[in-house]
Amino acid sequence: MAHDDTPSDITRVDARALPSSEEQFRLLVQGVTDYAIYMLDAGGHVASWNAGAERIKGYNPEEIIGSHFSRFHTEEDVHAGMPAVSLRIAAAEGRYEKEGWRVRKSGDRFWAHVIIDAIRNPDGSILGFAKITRDITERREAQRALEQAQQALFQSQKLESIGQLTGGIAHDFNNLLTAILGSLELLRKRMPDDPKAVALLDNAVQGARRGATLTQRMLAFARRQELKTEAVDLRVLVENMMGLLERSIGPSISIRTQFPPNLPLVKSDASQLDSALLNLAVNARDAMPQGGIIMIKAQAEIVEQATATGMAPGHYVRLAVTDTGTGMDAATLDRAMEPFFTTKGVGKGTGLGLSMIHGLAEQSGGKLILLSPPGEGLTAELWLPVTEDLATPADPQADPPEAKAKRLTILAVDDDDLVLMNTVAMLEDLGHEVVEAGSGAAALQAMSRHPDINMVISDQAMPGMAGVELAAAVRKQRPDMPIILATGFAELPPGADASLHRLAKPFNQAQLAQAVEAVQHT
């Protein structure tokens, strides 16, 4: 006959089931492998050890039970008393939670998330502690990689914005300097033979040329300088510069080089690389006032996939210049490539050296990376793309074509009145007849009114109709018309006629005359 269980039966059932539940829970904890779960006695000694603890920390139960848990801490934490502090907080507040470095049996460190819960007797006294540790090294590294990528993107965007601003400023300065240098040159021809006046004029010309050099460096940072790209052997380039480098840095600093055999050639501008290397060496010298060592070395590298710094996949050569100086802190590194930022003090540098090298690297298809581990000086890495092009560049010493006394009717086009006036004056002084136009539309109208025009010299950056657009319109009417494009920028808009003869701003009368002569024979 069926009957209900009595209270004593229920008690007996629960009592029988309880050991089984406790055993199941023990087996469950013991079998967990993602977490190190173990007990500590009131003094901090290990009283139990699960499979996760063995996997993460490397000790088997026989090796570790009875040992003090401080052996999992780093030496720095042990000296600082952190194990005792963690137990004291857990005892006072019931719980301790923190992330930090821990040490495996092998001596390797890992980043751990640690929880310690206090276990109390019925009377409230501490019986021991339950400790849970999880290895979150991979998660931390992934987070750090994400933060670094975000920082690299921020830096790239910041430099890009500064580059656009710098390029625009350099363009405007080039226009001013073109007018100044040209006018001073024409003024020299008309001045009386007064030594004091000539000296003042020469001083003004030198100042304007220094300004032109600054604008070129600004354009380099903005990646708009004119590069003569060629195949460059970095080992030969450095060897040829050793004498200059040694004279520039002085006897208190030694230069060492390290180049592997069969180093690939790189694609860049050799003369700009000369300037970049000299600049890096001088920076290294200034960082070592008491003397030291500059190491210049190169190594072929392969980038498999795009990096956080924006390096495209491909084959590169990494040219590294390392000093034993004071290095840079993180805040200085963040700003080091900004134009006009310098740590050398007032009057000791323009702050354009690293920004120029940054622009050179970017325009060549590479990167400039600055590394400064604490106490280890600074390493400037210039990554340049490998090239198979063995073409020999044109001889920079070759004599320009001789100017011929042929009178031309030239259409001069520029939206800047100062530059236009200057260009017209120089052309007329050369014996040419000049028709002026202040815009592309005005230039096309002048072409219709003056069928005798046999050359066009136009600015590129003009509102409404840019120089390349004007050139295309002129060529539709007169396909054989010689055209010179005056611009301070290296790159033309997509789709522009690459055969257009370009005259770099700022230019003087001799350069203008050479361009006029050269374009007649192309």
* Host domain of residue 294: 230-385
Residues 6+ apart with CB under 8 A from 288: 252, 253, 323, 324, 325, 326
Confidence of residue 15 (pLDDT cuts 50, 70, 90): very low
343, pLDDT greater than 70: no
**Tens digits of per-residue pLDDT, 405-454?**
578 999 999 988 888 888 888 898 888 999 999 999 999 999 999 999 98
Whether 332 and 419 map to the same domain: the answer is: no
More confident residue, 393 or 301: 301
Whether 367 and 256 map to the same domain: the answer is: yes
In the prediction, which pLDDT does 339 show?
A: 63
In the prediction, which pLDDT does 8 show?
A: 38
Q: Cα(343)–Cα(286) distance, rounded to whole angstroms? A: 10
User: Of 455, 452, 471, 434, which Cα lies nearest the Cα of 515?
Assistant: 455
Bridge partner list, 434: 410
Whether 366 and 486 map to the same domain: the answer is: no
109-122 mean pLDDT = 93
Q: What is the average pLDDT value for the chain, to the nearest integer?
A: 80
Domain-embedded: residue 47: yes
Domain-embedded: residue 462: yes
Whether 332 and 424 map to the same domain: the answer is: no
Domain-embedded: residue 273: yes
Domain-embedded: residue 153: no
Number of domains in the chain: 4
349-367 mean pLDDT = 74
221, pLDDT greater than 60: no
400, pLDDT greater than 60: no
Which long-range CB contacts under 8 A does 259-262 form with residues at least 24 apart? 259/234, 259/235, 259/297, 259/298, 260/298, 260/299, 260/300
**Window from 44-58, 150-164, 175-189, 449-463 with minimum mean pLDDT:** 150-164
352, pLDDT greater than 70: no
Contact 360, 272 (CB under 8 A): yes
In the prediction, which pLDDT does 364 show?
A: 82
Kindly report the pTM of this predicted structure.
Answer: 0.45
204-209 mean pLDDT = 78
Domain-embedded: residue 394: no
In the prediction, which pLDDT does 5 show?
A: 46
Domain-embedded: residue 199: yes
Domain-embedded: residue 314: yes
Give the distance between the most distant pair of CA atoms in the chain: 139
Whether 179 and 271 map to the same domain: the answer is: no
Whether 187 and 248 map to the same domain: the answer is: no
Whether 193 and 247 map to the same domain: the answer is: no
Whether 213 and 308 map to the same domain: the answer is: no
Is the sign of the CA dihedral 91, 92, 93, 96 positive or negative? Answer: negative
325, pLDDT greater than 50: yes
297-313 mean pLDDT = 82
In the prediction, which pLDDT does 395 show?
A: 43
Domain-embedded: residue 123: yes
Whether 243 and 313 map to the same domain: the answer is: yes
Whether 291 and 376 map to the same domain: the answer is: yes
**Window from 102-106, 127-131, 345-349, 411-415 with minimum mean pLDDT:** 345-349
Q: Which pairing describes strands 314-323 and 379-385: parallel, antiparallel, or unpaired?
A: antiparallel
Tokens (6 digits) for 226: 């004119």
Encoded amino acid at 166, one letter: T
More confident residue, 33 or 232: 232
**Is the link from the previous residue into 374 a cis peptide, with omega within 30 of 0?**
no
Q: Cα(429)–Cα(423) distance, rounded to whole angstroms? A: 10
In the prediction, which pLDDT does 198 show?
A: 76
**Tens digits of per-residue pLDDT, 65-74?**
999 999 999 9
